[in-house]
Amino acid sequence: MPVGSSSWSFTEDDFGAITGTLQRFLHDSNARCALLVDRSGQLVATVGEQPRFDPTAFSTLAAADFSANDQLAKLIGETDFNSLFHQGEKESMYLADVARRVILVVLFDNRTTLGLVRLKMKQTVDELTRLFEQVFARPTHAQGGSPGLLAGADDEIDKLFQ
């Protein structure tokens, strides 16, 4: 296992809890869609209206946006910006940090207001932070937990690249 690499995995139960929290949030805030993206740019979950854009590309750009803003924050003497808001004519998006590892991205239009989204988001971020802290606290196989998913799969990996 490479040093410094902190792989993580989540189960169907985690996924159920995460999407449940996000569905409640969408209902309460009247936002259209919520995406969870990990800091390295991978999409974790999408809830609400299915996006019409490419969600993989979107996740990469959202993570890059957040990382770039983190560095801007440091330059002006802040530790980070824990949320970002991008306003469009019809569509807007709000991004918030969850447990320093994941970004919650919410898309909304003029059926709701920034104030309501922001208000409901705070509670959701707290809930998600608790959920993700449990996920990250679980030992991975590298730390002596259960064996890795690909343990003993060397032959299969070789075959994939023949």
User: DSSP states of 72-83 as a string?
Assistant: HHHHTT-S--SE
Please pick, from the candidates 57, 78, 86, 133, the single residue that binds another protein as defined by CB under 8 A.
Answer: 57
Say whether residue 153 binds another protein (CB under 8 A): yes
90 phi and psi, to 5 degrees? -110, -40
- DSSP conformational letter for 141: G
Say whether residue 3 binds another protein (CB under 8 A): yes
Say whether residue 68 binds another protein (CB under 8 A): yes
Say whether residue 137 binds another protein (CB under 8 A): no
Say whether residue 23 binds another protein (CB under 8 A): no
Element (H, E) at 11: none
Element (H, E) at 123: helix 114-137
The residue ranges that bind another protein (CB under 8 A) are 1-12, 15, 38-42, 44-45, 54, 56-57, 60-61, 64, 67-68, 71, 148-154, 156-158, 160-161
